[in-house]
Amino acid sequence: MQMLKVKKTEEDLRKIVESIKIEPRDPSLNLGICCDFSVGSDSYYADIATGLPWIGTECMIFEKVGDEIQWDGLYCRRDIPFSEAALKECITEFIRTKYVD
C-alpha cells in the first residue's frame, strides 16, 4: 500500500514521541513492550522483543490498517537495549526517516 508522505517538523516528531504510551506486550509472559502511534492519518504498531539468542533484541514497526498489522511495510532494528527509551528512539528514527525533511 502506497501512503502519501506527510512532512513533519522536528517539533511535530517530539510531540508524537512524547505522547506515546508504552505497555507490556503480555505482562504474564514478559514478552516485551509495545505501543500504537500515529503520524497524521497513518497508524503503526511498534514493539521491542527478545528474539533468538543470535538475534538479540529487536524493534519492529508495522503499519496498521484498521486493527490489522501489515507485514509488507516492516521496519526492523536489531541489537538495541530492552527499554522504553530504546523503543522511543527506534520510533523517532523511523518517523524521521519517513516523514521529516
| Chain segment 53-62, per-residue pLDDT in tens | 766 788 999 9
In what side-by-side order are the strands of the sheet with 68-78? 23-24, 33-39, 42-50, 57-65, 68-78
pLDDT of residue 43: 94
Question: Which of 54-58, 86-90, 91-95 is the least confident region?
Answer: 54-58
**Residues 73 and 62 sit within 8 Å (Cβ to Cβ):** yes
Find out whether 51 and 58 touch, Cβ atoms under 8 Å. yes
For the chain, the structural domain boundaries read 24-99
Q: pLDDT for 28-56, tens place per residue?
A: 666 789 999 999 899 999 999 876 676 67
* pTM beyond 0.75: yes
